[in-house]
Structure 1
Amino acid sequence: MQLRKFLEAQGFNRIPLKKLATGHYLFSAKINGISGDFILDTGASTSCVGFTEGAHFLLISEESKIKASGAGATNMETMLSRKNKFTINKWGIPNMDFVLFDLSHVNEALAQVHENPIHGIIGADFLKERRAVIDYGRNCFYIR
């Protein structure tokens, strides 16, 4: 039996991914009904949105004591936005939290290989909670 048929029979939704020149995987989704582009990153512990994108997605944020670190950057200030509607195609959840922090270092790296900037990163917190299965061979992932 094919993986796709098996997972869809179990109630999983298939989400296509686009492989970027950096090796990252990109997909489109909506936060609070507003479209954006996101990298799927199993190495990111928390899903996040760039500081400059908070207004774009109508995020209400609060102060956070969390310090963020990522590829090439450490000890970055953050904000927290709770209970946002997150949708991918027809699938969605009503109460997703996002950490807001400076994604300029990520977008600079993407620009160096002529890729468009991203709005955010969907990390392991989301992937684990939604029991995600990533199919690298077919450039897609499954969630429920």
Structure 2
Amino acid sequence: MSLKTLLKEKGYHHIKLGYTKTNHLELVAKINDIEGNFILDTGASSTCVGLEAVGHFELMAEDSDIKAAGAGASNMLTQIAQKNRIEIKGWKKKKIDIVLFDLKHVNEALTNHKAEKVHGIIGADILKKGKAIIDYKNKSLYLK
């Protein structure tokens, strides 16, 4: 029995992943029913959206005490958008808080490598909620 068959029997949703030109896993997700491009980052504690995409996803931004760090930048000011819906290929969760911060440094790195810009990052918070299993060989994410 394949991993895909086994996990489908256990109620997991299968999500096909792609790789960016920078070798990051990428996927399409919907926030509040609006589609966007995301990097899958197991090292990011929170799911994030770039400040420039706040309008795209119709997010209600509030100031936050959280300071973001990572990908060569640290101590960045953030905002938070609370109680959002997220959907990834049929897997859905409500009441998701999303951290909002400047993703320009991430998108510059991607465009410097002729990769597509992203709206945000799917982080460990979503992966935990979905009991995620990542199959790197078959470029697949499974969420329950």
Q: Using structure 1 for the length normalisation, give the TM-score.
A: 0.97
Q: Which residue of 2 aligns with 1:63?
A: 63
Q: List per-residue Cα deviations over 1:74-123 (Å, max 9, x = no partner).
A: 00000011111111222211221100000000000000110110000001
Amino acid at match of 1:97: D
% identical aligned pairs? 49
Whole-Å Cα distance in 2 between the matches of residues 112 and 62 of structure 1?
A: 31
Moved more, 83-92 or 98-107: 83-92
Structure 1 residue 140: deviation in Å? 0.9
Equivalences for residues 1-144 of structure 1 within 5 A: 1-144=1-144
Whole-Å Cα distance in 1 between the matches of residues 8 and 59 of structure 2?
A: 32
8 Å contact kept, 2:13–2:90? no
Stretches (4+) displaced over 2 A: none
8 Å contact kept, 2:67–2:76? yes
Alpha-carbon RMSD across the aligned residues, in angstroms, is 0.8
Amino acid at match of 2:141: F
Whole-Å Cα distance in 1 between the matches of residues 36 and 16 of structure 2?
A: 15
Counterpart of 1:45 in 2: which secondary structure? coil
* Structure 2: segments with no counterpart, 5+ residues: none
Counterpart of 1:114 in 2: which secondary structure? coil
Whole-Å Cα distance in 1 between the matches of residues 7 and 107 of structure 2?
A: 33
* Structure 1: segments with no counterpart, 5+ residues: none
Moved more, 91-100 or 39-48: 91-100
Equivalent residues, number: 144
Whole-Å Cα distance in 2 between the matches of residues 132 and 143 of structure 1?
A: 5
Q: Using structure 2 for the length normalisation, give the TM-score.
A: 0.97
Whole-Å Cα distance in 2 between the matches of residues 118 and 20 of structure 1?
A: 10
